[in-house]
A = this chain, B = another copy of it.
Amino acid sequence: WPRTQAITHRRSLQLRGVCVRDSWLSLVSDVLGSGSVPYLQEAPSPLAFYREWVCPNRPCIIRDAVAHWPALHKWTTRYLRTCIGSKLASVAVTPNGYADAVYKDRFVMPEEREMALSNFLDIVEKKSHQPGVFYIQKQCSNLTEEFPELLLDVESHIPWMSEALGQLPDAVNFWLGEEAAVTSLHKDHYENLYCVISGEKHFILHPPSDRPFIPYEMYQPARYHLQDDGSFSVMDEEGAEKVPWIPIDPLDPDFTLYPEYRKTRPFHCTVRAGEMLYLPSLWFHHVRQSHGCIAVNYWYDMEYDLRFQYFKLIDSLTKVVMKEKEAEGCLV
């Protein structure tokens, strides 16, 4: 014991003479490697997956996880029209592709429109033209709720993940949209398995330990509304409290306003048809896609265990330090 303790102590001496407020960030170390997401060749055993990926909260891409799904060769737009073309789909419509994102001084949500899936596909296939960017992205388990017919071509859960976590997913979501549709940087308290059926999804990921360098601001919630003239208005949600959101766009970060964001360590990855991304809980993510990309994702509730305590501590320290600096007038 004494030898190990002595080494630990020598390390601690390097902290001599520093101030908590300025030094704590150097203490948030991480066991993650470089900024690339590792690949697994096939679905792992439940235990190995829990031990090597879920518990350490590390993302990976699994190559042949869904190769056996009929959806991979069946889900053409023609098939979707035949199978569920007349069914109503909840579609998010925005002028610019940004739903649930900061626009000027608002947190702006999309216009939510119900339309027959065939009409939506007409727009994606450019057979009809409508103002705005259209995206099926409703995360209310819309695959099971709106398109149960499609479940036959995929799975209602991922058996090895359900066994690993000892639970079934809270939601299975279906995603289909135009290239311009973007999901702004945010995090979820879910273990996320994101499976691409056709096309590609482009992810920018930040580990939760990047939290101190990722800005949050408070915004009035608002919503886009298509006007008769084809333009979009932004209307405040009445009586809604302000919400914190991340103002930065990882594709074009404003380093003048948010210089700390330079210190983040983004992971970039592309998930291709047949592949599955394990996106660990509380990782920040920003998502783009190829035009007409189809994907299905599974949300499993996270364990509110030590990992959660760790990230909550980092989050709280970030906020306290910000408040302390604000109080001292270090920040405007």
Chain A residues engaging chain B, CB cutoff 8 angstroms: 1-2, 4-6, 8-9, 12, 15-21, 23-24, 27-31, 46-48, 50-51, 54-57, 100, 107, 109, 163-166, 186, 188-189, 209, 218, 221, 240-245, 303-310, 312-317, 319-321, 323-324, 327
Contacts and interface: CB of A to CB of B under 8 A. Distances in A.
A221 to B, nearest CB: 6
A323 B51 contact: no
Given A2-B221, A9-B218, A306 B304 contact: no
B245 A5 contact: yes
Nearest to A188: B1
A323 B16 contact: yes
A190 to B, nearest CB: 11
B244 A323 contact: no
A323 B18 contact: yes
Contact of A324 (B19, B55, B316): B19
A55 B306 contact: yes
A118 to B, nearest CB: 30
B316 A310 contact: no
27 contacts: A1-B100, A2-B107, A2-B221, A15-B316, A15-B320, A16-B323, A17-B323, A18-B320, A18-B323, A19-B320, A20-B21, A20-B317, A21-B21, A27-B312, A27-B320, A28-B313, A29-B309, A31-B308, A47-B50, A50-B50, A51-B55, A55-B306, A55-B307, A56-B303, A56-B305, A57-B306, A307-B310
Contacts of A244: 5-6, 8-9
A236 to B, nearest CB: 13
Contacts of A18: 320, 323-324
List the 6 closest A-B pairs by CB distance, nearest first. A310-B310, A56-B305, A27-B316, A2-B243, A55-B55, A47-B47
